[in-house]
Amino acid sequence: MVTVETKFEHLRERIKTKSFQENKGLSNEVGYYLFDYPPERELYVRDQISDIAHQSTIATIGADVHVFNLFDIMLGVVDQLGYRDAFYELEETDGMDQVIDQMNNILEMNEEHNRIVQAIQDQLTDEPTILFITGIGQVYPAIRAHKVLNTMTQVIDQIPVMMFYPGNYNSVRLQAFGELQENNYYRAFHFE
Q: Which residues contact 110 (CB under 8 A, 6 or more apart)?
A: 104, 147, 151
**Ramachandran region, residue 30 (left: φ > 0; alpha: ψ -120 to 50; beta: rest):** beta
Please give the model's pTM, rounded to 2 decimal places: 0.89
Closest to 12 (Cα-Cα) out of 186, 132, 158: 132
What pLDDT is recorded for position 87?
Answer: 87
Question: Using CB atoms within 10 A of its CB, is residue 44 exposed (0-12), middle (13-18) or buried (19+)?
Answer: middle
What pLDDT is recorded for position 29?
Answer: 67
What pLDDT is recorded for position 94?
Answer: 92
Tell me the sheet residues that pair with 43: none
**134 and 46 in contact (C-beta within 8 Å)?**
yes
CA dihedral 106, 154, 14, 8 (to 10 degrees): 30
Rounded average pLDDT per 10-residue block, the chain, 192 residues: 93 92 70 92 97 91 94 94 90 90 90 88 88 93 84 84 90 72 66 81
What pLDDT is recorded for position 27?
Answer: 60
What pLDDT is recorded for position 17?
Answer: 92
Q: What share of the chain is helix, strand, coil (3-state, %, to 5)?
A: 50, 20, 30
Tell me the sheet residues that pair with 162: 33, 132
CA distance 43 to 5: 13
Closest to 15 (Cα-Cα) out of 128, 119, 123, 167: 128
